[in-house]
Structure 1
Amino acid sequence: MEFNFITTTALAVIVSTSVFAASNDVEHSAQEKVQFNIFSSETTDQMVVNEGGYISAEFGQILASSLMGKTVYTYEPGKPEKDAVGDVNDLVMAPDGSFKAAIIGVGGFVGIGEKDVAVDFKRISWMSWDGERHLVLHASKEELTEAPVFMRQALNLIHREGLLVVDQSNLSAENMIGTVVYGSNDEEIGEISDVILSSESQVVAYIIDVGGFLGIGEKPVAMDIDALTVYKDAKGDLHIYTPYTEGQLKAQRAYSESDYSSDRDVGVAR
Protein backbone atom coordinates (compact mmCIF):
# COMPACT_ATOMS: atom_id res chain seq x y z
CA MET A 1 0.00 0.00 0.00
CA GLU A 2 1.32 3.47 -0.85
CA PHE A 3 1.06 6.20 1.76
CA ASN A 4 1.15 9.96 1.29
CA PHE A 5 1.29 12.86 3.69
CA ILE A 6 -1.47 15.43 3.29
CA THR A 7 0.85 18.41 3.49
CA THR A 8 3.45 20.19 1.41
CA THR A 9 6.22 18.07 -0.10
CA ALA A 10 8.88 17.03 2.41
CA LEU A 11 11.80 14.64 2.34
CA ALA A 12 11.42 13.52 5.94
CA VAL A 13 9.32 14.37 8.96
CA ILE A 14 10.34 13.89 12.60
CA VAL A 15 7.69 14.52 15.23
CA SER A 16 8.89 15.56 18.67
CA THR A 17 6.78 14.45 21.63
CA SER A 18 7.00 13.88 25.35
CA VAL A 19 4.46 11.08 25.23
CA PHE A 20 7.03 8.51 26.23
CA ALA A 21 7.70 10.07 29.63
CA ALA A 22 7.00 7.61 32.42
CA SER A 23 4.93 10.21 34.24
CA ASN A 24 2.31 9.97 31.47
CA ASP A 25 1.81 6.24 31.89
CA VAL A 26 -1.42 4.85 33.33
CA GLU A 27 -1.16 1.25 34.54
CA HIS A 28 -4.13 -1.03 33.82
CA SER A 29 -2.61 -4.43 34.60
CA ALA A 30 0.70 -6.21 34.63
CA GLN A 31 0.38 -6.81 30.89
CA GLU A 32 -1.37 -3.60 29.86
CA LYS A 33 -0.25 0.01 29.97
CA VAL A 34 -1.79 3.12 28.42
CA GLN A 35 0.26 6.17 27.45
CA PHE A 36 -2.17 8.96 26.68
CA ASN A 37 -1.78 11.49 23.88
CA ILE A 38 0.31 10.21 21.03
CA PHE A 39 1.54 13.76 20.46
CA SER A 40 2.13 16.39 23.11
CA SER A 41 1.29 20.04 22.62
CA GLU A 42 4.30 20.92 24.75
CA THR A 43 7.58 21.87 23.12
CA THR A 44 10.94 20.79 24.43
CA ASP A 45 13.82 23.08 25.27
CA GLN A 46 16.24 20.18 24.86
CA MET A 47 15.95 19.85 21.08
CA VAL A 48 19.35 20.40 19.52
CA VAL A 49 19.18 22.69 16.49
CA ASN A 50 22.35 22.70 14.46
CA GLU A 51 23.60 25.54 12.32
CA GLY A 52 21.42 25.85 9.25
CA GLY A 53 18.22 24.76 10.99
CA TYR A 54 18.89 21.01 11.13
CA ILE A 55 18.04 18.92 14.20
CA SER A 56 19.54 15.82 15.71
CA ALA A 57 17.70 12.59 16.49
CA GLU A 58 16.68 12.51 20.15
CA PHE A 59 14.72 10.43 22.62
CA GLY A 60 11.01 11.30 22.47
CA GLN A 61 10.86 11.94 18.73
CA ILE A 62 8.61 9.88 16.46
CA LEU A 63 9.21 9.17 12.80
CA ALA A 64 5.92 9.70 11.00
CA SER A 65 6.74 6.69 8.84
CA SER A 66 6.51 4.50 11.96
CA LEU A 67 2.79 5.31 12.19
CA MET A 68 1.91 4.62 8.57
CA GLY A 69 0.08 1.33 8.12
CA LYS A 70 -0.10 0.72 11.85
CA THR A 71 -3.26 -1.04 13.04
CA VAL A 72 -5.61 1.00 15.24
CA TYR A 73 -7.69 -0.62 17.97
CA THR A 74 -10.74 0.70 19.80
CA TYR A 75 -10.45 1.22 23.53
CA GLU A 76 -13.41 1.63 25.86
CA PRO A 77 -12.80 1.70 29.65
CA GLY A 78 -14.26 -1.36 31.33
CA LYS A 79 -14.23 -3.44 28.16
CA PRO A 80 -11.31 -5.89 28.03
CA GLU A 81 -11.68 -6.67 24.33
CA LYS A 82 -9.98 -4.43 21.79
CA ASP A 83 -11.24 -4.49 18.21
CA ALA A 84 -8.95 -3.74 15.28
CA VAL A 85 -10.87 -1.09 13.32
CA GLY A 86 -8.43 -0.06 10.61
CA ASP A 87 -4.95 1.10 9.67
CA VAL A 88 -3.31 4.52 9.55
CA ASN A 89 -3.42 5.51 5.88
CA ASP A 90 -2.26 9.10 6.15
CA LEU A 91 -1.58 12.05 8.45
CA VAL A 92 -3.12 15.52 8.27
CA MET A 93 -0.86 18.50 8.89
CA ALA A 94 -1.86 22.11 9.48
CA PRO A 95 -0.33 24.98 7.47
CA ASP A 96 2.05 25.64 10.38
CA GLY A 97 3.49 22.13 10.07
CA SER A 98 1.86 20.66 13.16
CA PHE A 99 0.14 17.28 13.02
CA LYS A 100 -3.65 17.50 13.45
CA ALA A 101 -5.16 14.09 12.74
CA ALA A 102 -4.60 10.53 11.62
CA ILE A 103 -6.57 9.24 8.65
CA ILE A 104 -7.76 5.73 9.46
CA GLY A 105 -9.05 3.35 6.79
CA VAL A 106 -12.23 1.91 8.29
CA GLY A 107 -14.23 -1.09 7.11
CA GLY A 108 -13.96 -2.85 3.79
CA PHE A 109 -11.77 -5.79 2.87
CA VAL A 110 -8.17 -5.51 1.62
CA GLY A 111 -8.83 -1.86 0.85
CA ILE A 112 -12.05 -2.43 -1.11
CA GLY A 113 -15.05 -0.61 0.33
CA GLU A 114 -12.82 1.06 2.91
CA LYS A 115 -13.52 4.65 3.91
CA ASP A 116 -11.13 7.25 5.30
CA VAL A 117 -11.94 8.82 8.67
CA ALA A 118 -9.79 11.65 10.06
CA VAL A 119 -9.39 11.35 13.84
CA ASP A 120 -7.93 14.06 16.06
CA PHE A 121 -4.66 12.92 17.63
CA LYS A 122 -6.04 13.85 21.06
CA ARG A 123 -8.24 10.75 20.82
CA ILE A 124 -5.39 8.39 19.98
CA SER A 125 -3.08 6.84 22.56
CA TRP A 126 -0.38 4.25 22.90
CA MET A 127 -1.22 1.07 24.77
CA SER A 128 1.14 -1.82 25.48
CA TRP A 129 0.09 -5.45 25.76
CA ASP A 130 1.77 -8.76 25.02
CA GLY A 131 5.08 -6.94 25.09
CA GLU A 132 4.21 -4.71 22.11
CA ARG A 133 3.02 -1.13 21.71
CA HIS A 134 -0.27 -0.49 19.88
CA LEU A 135 -2.34 2.50 18.77
CA VAL A 136 -5.72 2.72 20.47
CA LEU A 137 -8.61 5.04 19.71
CA HIS A 138 -10.99 6.14 22.42
CA ALA A 139 -14.16 5.39 20.46
CA SER A 140 -16.44 2.49 19.67
CA LYS A 141 -16.34 0.56 16.41
CA GLU A 142 -19.91 1.73 15.71
CA GLU A 143 -18.90 5.37 16.08
CA LEU A 144 -16.14 4.99 13.50
CA THR A 145 -18.45 3.18 11.11
CA GLU A 146 -20.88 6.11 11.23
CA ALA A 147 -18.19 8.82 11.16
CA PRO A 148 -18.07 11.13 8.11
CA VAL A 149 -15.75 10.29 5.23
CA PHE A 150 -12.61 12.40 4.97
CA MET A 151 -12.77 13.67 1.40
CA ARG A 152 -9.21 13.95 0.13
CA GLN A 153 -10.37 15.46 -3.14
CA ALA A 154 -11.58 18.55 -1.30
CA LEU A 155 -7.92 19.33 -0.55
CA ASN A 156 -7.13 19.43 -4.24
CA LEU A 157 -9.18 22.61 -4.64
CA ILE A 158 -6.03 24.68 -4.11
CA HIS A 159 -4.45 22.83 -7.04
CA ARG A 160 -7.43 23.34 -9.36
CA GLU A 161 -7.50 26.97 -10.29
CA GLY A 162 -10.98 28.31 -10.90
CA LEU A 163 -12.84 25.33 -9.40
CA LEU A 164 -15.22 25.78 -6.48
CA VAL A 165 -16.93 23.16 -4.33
CA VAL A 166 -20.66 22.90 -5.05
CA ASP A 167 -23.38 22.21 -2.49
CA GLN A 168 -24.95 19.02 -3.85
CA SER A 169 -28.32 19.86 -2.32
CA ASN A 170 -28.60 22.62 -4.92
CA LEU A 171 -28.04 20.28 -7.87
CA SER A 172 -30.77 18.56 -9.83
CA ALA A 173 -30.67 15.09 -11.36
CA GLU A 174 -30.55 16.73 -14.77
CA ASN A 175 -27.37 18.56 -13.75
CA MET A 176 -25.63 15.37 -12.69
CA ILE A 177 -26.64 12.70 -15.22
CA GLY A 178 -24.00 12.23 -17.90
CA THR A 179 -21.27 13.96 -15.90
CA VAL A 180 -17.88 12.23 -15.85
CA VAL A 181 -16.57 10.98 -12.49
CA TYR A 182 -12.84 11.03 -11.70
CA GLY A 183 -11.12 8.68 -9.26
CA SER A 184 -8.47 9.08 -6.56
CA ASN A 185 -5.68 9.49 -9.12
CA ASP A 186 -7.71 11.98 -11.17
CA GLU A 187 -8.36 9.30 -13.78
CA GLU A 188 -11.75 9.04 -15.52
CA ILE A 189 -13.57 6.04 -14.01
CA GLY A 190 -17.14 6.40 -15.26
CA GLU A 191 -20.12 8.70 -15.51
CA ILE A 192 -23.35 9.26 -13.63
CA SER A 193 -26.22 7.47 -15.33
CA ASP A 194 -28.97 7.98 -12.74
CA VAL A 195 -29.75 9.24 -9.24
CA ILE A 196 -31.50 7.66 -6.27
CA LEU A 197 -34.05 9.83 -4.47
CA SER A 198 -35.33 9.61 -0.91
CA SER A 199 -39.03 9.64 -0.03
CA GLU A 200 -38.60 13.43 0.36
CA SER A 201 -37.27 13.65 -3.22
CA GLN A 202 -33.76 14.41 -2.01
CA VAL A 203 -30.79 12.90 -3.86
CA VAL A 204 -29.17 10.31 -1.55
CA ALA A 205 -27.01 8.35 -4.01
CA TYR A 206 -25.85 8.23 -7.60
CA ILE A 207 -25.60 5.37 -10.08
CA ILE A 208 -22.21 5.41 -11.79
CA ASP A 209 -21.50 3.33 -14.89
CA VAL A 210 -17.98 1.99 -14.44
CA GLY A 211 -15.71 0.33 -17.01
CA GLY A 212 -16.81 -0.96 -20.38
CA PHE A 213 -16.20 0.53 -23.81
CA LEU A 214 -18.60 2.81 -25.65
CA GLY A 215 -21.33 1.80 -23.24
CA ILE A 216 -20.74 -1.94 -23.66
CA GLY A 217 -19.84 -3.94 -20.57
CA GLU A 218 -20.40 -1.08 -18.14
CA LYS A 219 -21.23 -1.94 -14.54
CA PRO A 220 -23.72 0.22 -12.59
CA VAL A 221 -22.49 0.98 -9.07
CA ALA A 222 -24.43 2.90 -6.41
CA MET A 223 -22.44 5.58 -4.59
CA ASP A 224 -23.53 7.65 -1.59
CA ILE A 225 -23.50 11.41 -2.17
CA ASP A 226 -20.93 11.83 0.63
CA ALA A 227 -18.47 9.73 -1.37
CA LEU A 228 -18.39 12.36 -4.12
CA THR A 229 -17.17 15.93 -4.22
CA VAL A 230 -18.64 18.18 -6.92
CA TYR A 231 -16.83 21.22 -8.32
CA LYS A 232 -17.90 23.90 -10.78
CA ASP A 233 -15.59 25.84 -13.10
CA ALA A 234 -15.93 29.39 -14.39
CA LYS A 235 -18.07 28.17 -17.30
CA GLY A 236 -20.49 26.41 -14.97
CA ASP A 237 -19.37 22.92 -15.99
CA LEU A 238 -19.34 20.28 -13.24
CA HIS A 239 -16.33 18.18 -12.26
CA ILE A 240 -16.95 15.22 -9.95
CA TYR A 241 -14.32 13.41 -7.90
CA THR A 242 -14.32 10.40 -5.58
CA PRO A 243 -11.55 8.88 -3.40
CA TYR A 244 -12.29 5.47 -4.97
CA THR A 245 -10.31 3.94 -7.82
CA GLU A 246 -11.87 2.27 -10.85
CA GLY A 247 -10.68 -1.10 -9.57
CA GLN A 248 -12.38 -0.61 -6.22
CA LEU A 249 -15.68 0.34 -7.86
CA LYS A 250 -15.50 -2.61 -10.26
CA ALA A 251 -15.19 -4.85 -7.20
CA GLN A 252 -18.38 -3.36 -5.74
CA ARG A 253 -21.66 -5.20 -6.07
CA ALA A 254 -23.59 -4.13 -9.16
CA TYR A 255 -26.56 -1.89 -8.41
CA SER A 256 -29.96 -3.57 -8.49
CA GLU A 257 -33.16 -1.65 -7.86
CA SER A 258 -34.75 -4.68 -6.17
CA ASP A 259 -31.73 -5.22 -3.88
CA TYR A 260 -31.63 -1.54 -2.97
CA SER A 261 -35.37 -1.47 -2.23
CA SER A 262 -35.01 -4.34 0.24
CA ASP A 263 -31.79 -3.11 1.88
CA ARG A 264 -30.43 0.35 1.16
CA ASP A 265 -27.01 -0.51 2.55
CA VAL A 266 -26.44 -3.33 0.05
CA GLY A 267 -23.73 -2.53 -2.46
CA VAL A 268 -23.61 1.23 -1.82
CA ALA A 269 -20.10 2.72 -1.85
CA ARG A 270 -19.76 5.25 0.96
Structure 2
Amino acid sequence: MAPAAHTDVHGIDVERLRVERLQRLRDTMAAQGVGALVLTHAPHVGYATGHGVPAADASMGNVRRAVAVVRADGDRPHLVGGEPEGLDVVAHPGSTPDTDDGARTLAAVLDDVCGDLPAEQVAVDGWTGPMLRAGTPPLVGSVDARPIITAATICKTAEELACISAAQRINEEAMLDVVAELAPGVHRSDLAATFLRRIRELGIDRSMIDPILQPMPRSIAEGPRTTTGDVAFPTGLGDPVYREGDLVWVDSGITVNGYA
Protein backbone atom coordinates (compact mmCIF):
# COMPACT_ATOMS: atom_id res chain seq x y z
CA MET A 1 0.00 0.00 0.00
CA ALA A 2 1.37 3.42 -0.96
CA PRO A 3 1.70 6.01 1.83
CA ALA A 4 -0.87 8.79 2.03
CA ALA A 5 0.01 11.90 0.06
CA HIS A 6 0.96 13.87 3.17
CA THR A 7 3.12 11.17 4.76
CA ASP A 8 6.51 9.67 3.96
CA VAL A 9 7.28 5.98 3.40
CA HIS A 10 7.34 5.44 7.17
CA GLY A 11 3.89 6.92 7.69
CA ILE A 12 5.25 10.13 9.20
CA ASP A 13 3.47 13.41 8.48
CA VAL A 14 6.65 15.37 7.79
CA GLU A 15 4.88 18.68 7.26
CA ARG A 16 3.12 18.46 10.62
CA LEU A 17 6.40 17.37 12.21
CA ARG A 18 8.15 20.53 11.02
CA VAL A 19 5.27 22.90 11.78
CA GLU A 20 4.87 21.63 15.35
CA ARG A 21 8.61 21.75 16.02
CA LEU A 22 8.92 25.30 14.77
CA GLN A 23 5.94 26.44 16.83
CA ARG A 24 7.36 24.83 19.96
CA LEU A 25 10.68 26.54 19.32
CA ARG A 26 8.99 29.93 18.93
CA ASP A 27 6.86 29.42 22.04
CA THR A 28 10.05 28.66 24.00
CA MET A 29 11.77 31.74 22.59
CA ALA A 30 8.86 33.94 23.61
CA ALA A 31 8.79 32.44 27.11
CA GLN A 32 12.49 33.24 27.56
CA GLY A 33 12.35 36.74 26.09
CA VAL A 34 14.38 35.97 22.97
CA GLY A 35 13.41 37.59 19.68
CA ALA A 36 15.66 35.66 17.29
CA LEU A 37 17.78 32.51 17.17
CA VAL A 38 20.94 32.08 15.12
CA LEU A 39 21.66 28.37 14.78
CA THR A 40 24.96 27.02 13.43
CA HIS A 41 24.93 23.47 14.82
CA ALA A 42 23.62 21.11 12.11
CA PRO A 43 21.07 19.23 14.28
CA HIS A 44 19.69 22.56 15.53
CA VAL A 45 19.45 23.86 11.96
CA GLY A 46 17.58 20.69 11.02
CA TYR A 47 15.21 21.03 13.96
CA ALA A 48 14.27 24.58 12.99
CA THR A 49 14.10 24.17 9.21
CA GLY A 50 14.10 20.49 8.25
CA HIS A 51 17.47 20.94 6.54
CA GLY A 52 19.37 17.67 6.18
CA VAL A 53 23.10 17.35 6.70
CA PRO A 54 24.56 16.82 3.21
CA ALA A 55 27.70 15.08 4.49
CA ALA A 56 28.18 12.93 7.54
CA ASP A 57 31.95 13.14 7.09
CA ALA A 58 33.17 15.41 9.89
CA SER A 59 35.95 16.71 7.66
CA MET A 60 33.28 18.18 5.37
CA GLY A 61 30.93 19.46 8.07
CA ASN A 62 32.41 22.94 8.38
CA VAL A 63 32.90 23.36 4.65
CA ARG A 64 29.17 22.85 4.01
CA ARG A 65 27.74 24.40 7.17
CA ALA A 66 24.32 26.04 6.87
CA VAL A 67 22.93 28.58 9.35
CA ALA A 68 19.29 29.00 10.40
CA VAL A 69 17.78 32.25 11.67
CA VAL A 70 14.40 32.09 13.42
CA ARG A 71 12.36 35.10 14.48
CA ALA A 72 9.91 34.57 17.33
CA ASP A 73 7.46 36.83 15.51
CA GLY A 74 8.33 35.71 12.01
CA ASP A 75 6.63 33.61 9.38
CA ARG A 76 9.20 31.28 7.84
CA PRO A 77 12.69 30.58 9.20
CA HIS A 78 15.67 31.80 7.20
CA LEU A 79 18.36 29.47 5.86
CA VAL A 80 21.77 30.88 4.99
CA GLY A 81 23.62 28.55 2.64
CA GLY A 82 22.84 24.86 2.66
CA GLU A 83 20.32 23.19 0.37
CA PRO A 84 16.91 24.90 0.71
CA GLU A 85 15.12 23.02 -2.05
CA GLY A 86 11.85 21.53 -0.78
CA LEU A 87 11.98 23.43 2.53
CA ASP A 88 9.56 26.13 3.68
CA VAL A 89 12.29 28.68 4.36
CA VAL A 90 13.52 32.04 3.18
CA ALA A 91 16.74 31.10 1.40
CA HIS A 92 19.85 33.28 1.45
CA PRO A 93 23.00 32.49 -0.51
CA GLY A 94 25.99 32.13 1.73
CA SER A 95 29.13 30.20 2.50
CA THR A 96 30.29 28.63 5.72
CA PRO A 97 30.72 31.03 8.67
CA ASP A 98 34.02 29.26 9.32
CA THR A 99 35.57 31.69 6.82
CA ASP A 100 35.82 35.46 7.09
CA ASP A 101 33.85 35.95 3.87
CA GLY A 102 31.13 33.62 5.10
CA ALA A 103 30.93 35.38 8.47
CA ARG A 104 30.59 38.76 6.76
CA THR A 105 27.81 37.39 4.57
CA LEU A 106 26.04 36.02 7.64
CA ALA A 107 26.42 39.36 9.44
CA ALA A 108 24.74 41.12 6.50
CA VAL A 109 21.83 38.66 6.56
CA LEU A 110 21.41 39.08 10.32
CA ASP A 111 21.40 42.84 9.95
CA ASP A 112 18.55 42.48 7.48
CA VAL A 113 16.57 39.82 9.38
CA CYS A 114 17.00 40.86 13.00
CA GLY A 115 18.87 44.16 12.95
CA ASP A 116 15.96 45.81 14.75
CA LEU A 117 16.57 43.69 17.87
CA PRO A 118 19.10 44.50 20.59
CA ALA A 119 21.91 41.96 20.71
CA GLU A 120 20.78 40.64 24.11
CA GLN A 121 17.50 39.51 22.52
CA VAL A 122 19.35 37.41 19.93
CA ALA A 123 20.57 33.94 20.93
CA VAL A 124 23.35 32.04 19.14
CA ASP A 125 24.13 28.34 19.66
CA GLY A 126 27.76 28.49 18.57
CA TRP A 127 30.32 31.01 17.37
CA THR A 128 33.14 30.46 14.92
CA GLY A 129 36.35 32.47 15.06
CA PRO A 130 35.40 34.48 11.96
CA MET A 131 31.97 35.25 13.46
CA LEU A 132 33.65 36.77 16.51
CA ARG A 133 36.20 38.60 14.36
CA ALA A 134 33.36 40.19 12.39
CA GLY A 135 32.78 42.20 15.56
CA THR A 136 29.23 43.28 14.73
CA PRO A 137 26.05 42.66 16.74
CA PRO A 138 24.43 40.21 17.07
CA LEU A 139 27.49 38.09 16.25
CA VAL A 140 28.93 39.63 19.42
CA GLY A 141 26.93 40.64 22.46
CA SER A 142 24.27 37.96 21.97
CA VAL A 143 23.18 35.29 24.45
CA ASP A 144 23.48 31.48 24.48
CA ALA A 145 20.77 29.67 22.49
CA ARG A 146 21.44 26.22 23.91
CA PRO A 147 19.06 26.50 26.91
CA ILE A 148 16.28 27.43 24.49
CA ILE A 149 17.02 24.50 22.19
CA THR A 150 17.15 22.13 25.17
CA ALA A 151 13.83 23.33 26.55
CA ALA A 152 12.15 23.02 23.15
CA THR A 153 13.50 19.59 22.24
CA ILE A 154 13.24 17.75 25.56
CA CYS A 155 9.53 16.94 25.06
CA LYS A 156 8.64 15.15 21.83
CA THR A 157 5.58 15.53 19.63
CA ALA A 158 3.62 12.51 18.41
CA GLU A 159 5.35 12.70 15.02
CA GLU A 160 8.79 12.86 16.64
CA LEU A 161 8.00 9.76 18.70
CA ALA A 162 6.82 8.01 15.54
CA CYS A 163 10.17 8.81 13.88
CA ILE A 164 12.11 7.38 16.82
CA SER A 165 9.93 4.26 16.85
CA ALA A 166 10.41 3.70 13.11
CA ALA A 167 14.19 4.15 13.34
CA GLN A 168 14.49 1.65 16.19
CA ARG A 169 12.21 -0.89 14.50
CA ILE A 170 14.09 -0.72 11.19
CA ASN A 171 17.46 -0.96 12.93
CA GLU A 172 16.37 -4.12 14.76
CA GLU A 173 14.74 -5.64 11.68
CA ALA A 174 17.88 -5.12 9.60
CA MET A 175 20.01 -6.61 12.35
CA LEU A 176 18.00 -9.85 12.15
CA ASP A 177 19.45 -10.39 8.67
CA VAL A 178 22.93 -9.76 10.07
CA VAL A 179 22.44 -12.34 12.82
CA ALA A 180 21.26 -14.91 10.28
CA GLU A 181 24.44 -14.42 8.24
CA LEU A 182 26.93 -14.40 11.14
CA ALA A 183 29.07 -17.56 11.03
CA PRO A 184 32.74 -18.60 11.26
CA GLY A 185 34.63 -17.45 8.18
CA VAL A 186 32.41 -14.44 7.47
CA HIS A 187 34.08 -11.02 7.16
CA ARG A 188 32.92 -7.98 9.10
CA SER A 189 32.48 -6.15 5.80
CA ASP A 190 30.03 -8.83 4.64
CA LEU A 191 27.81 -8.24 7.67
CA ALA A 192 28.07 -4.46 7.29
CA ALA A 193 27.00 -4.76 3.66
CA THR A 194 24.03 -6.91 4.66
CA PHE A 195 22.92 -4.33 7.22
CA LEU A 196 23.25 -1.40 4.81
CA ARG A 197 21.43 -3.28 2.04
CA ARG A 198 18.56 -4.19 4.35
CA ILE A 199 18.01 -0.68 5.74
CA ARG A 200 17.94 0.58 2.16
CA GLU A 201 15.20 -1.94 1.38
CA LEU A 202 13.30 -0.69 4.43
CA GLY A 203 13.30 2.91 3.26
CA ILE A 204 16.46 4.35 4.87
CA ASP A 205 18.83 6.20 2.55
CA ARG A 206 21.63 7.03 4.99
CA SER A 207 23.37 5.53 8.00
CA MET A 208 24.57 7.74 10.86
CA ILE A 209 27.65 5.59 11.42
CA ASP A 210 29.32 2.66 9.72
CA PRO A 211 27.89 -0.44 11.43
CA ILE A 212 30.38 -1.72 14.00
CA LEU A 213 30.48 -5.51 14.45
CA GLN A 214 33.68 -6.10 16.38
CA PRO A 215 34.98 -9.31 17.95
CA MET A 216 35.79 -8.54 21.60
CA PRO A 217 37.41 -10.39 24.52
CA ARG A 218 35.02 -12.15 26.89
CA SER A 219 36.29 -10.33 29.97
CA ILE A 220 37.37 -6.80 30.85
CA ALA A 221 40.63 -8.18 32.21
CA GLU A 222 41.65 -9.26 28.70
CA GLY A 223 41.41 -5.70 27.38
CA PRO A 224 41.79 -3.85 25.14
CA ARG A 225 42.11 -0.69 27.20
CA THR A 226 42.39 3.01 26.49
CA THR A 227 45.10 5.20 28.03
CA THR A 228 42.60 6.04 30.80
CA GLY A 229 42.04 2.38 31.63
CA ASP A 230 38.58 2.12 30.13
CA VAL A 231 37.46 -0.62 27.75
CA ALA A 232 38.29 0.39 24.17
CA PHE A 233 35.45 0.04 21.67
CA PRO A 234 35.72 0.19 18.75
CA THR A 235 39.45 -0.29 18.38
CA GLY A 236 40.09 0.84 14.84
CA LEU A 237 40.02 -0.25 11.24
CA GLY A 238 40.27 -3.66 9.70
CA ASP A 239 38.06 -6.40 8.33
CA PRO A 240 38.24 -9.26 10.84
CA VAL A 241 37.07 -12.77 9.99
CA TYR A 242 34.79 -14.24 12.65
CA ARG A 243 35.74 -17.46 14.40
CA GLU A 244 33.72 -20.01 16.32
CA GLY A 245 32.97 -18.69 19.81
CA ASP A 246 33.65 -15.01 19.04
CA LEU A 247 31.83 -12.44 21.16
CA VAL A 248 30.70 -9.68 18.80
CA TRP A 249 29.88 -6.20 20.06
CA VAL A 250 27.54 -4.23 17.84
CA ASP A 251 26.86 -0.54 17.33
CA SER A 252 24.72 0.77 14.49
CA GLY A 253 22.67 3.88 13.95
CA ILE A 254 20.10 5.05 11.45
CA THR A 255 17.72 7.99 11.45
CA VAL A 256 14.18 8.64 10.27
CA ASN A 257 13.77 12.34 9.52
CA GLY A 258 16.76 13.00 11.78
CA TYR A 259 15.58 10.90 14.74
CA ALA A 260 17.34 7.75 15.92
Q: What is the TM-score with the length of structure 1 in the denominator?
A: 0.25
Larger helix percent: 2
Q: What is the TM-score with the length of structure 2 in the denominator?
A: 0.26
Task: Specify which structure has the bigger relative contact order, considering alpha-carbon pairs within 8 angstroms and separated by 6 or more residues.
Answer: 2
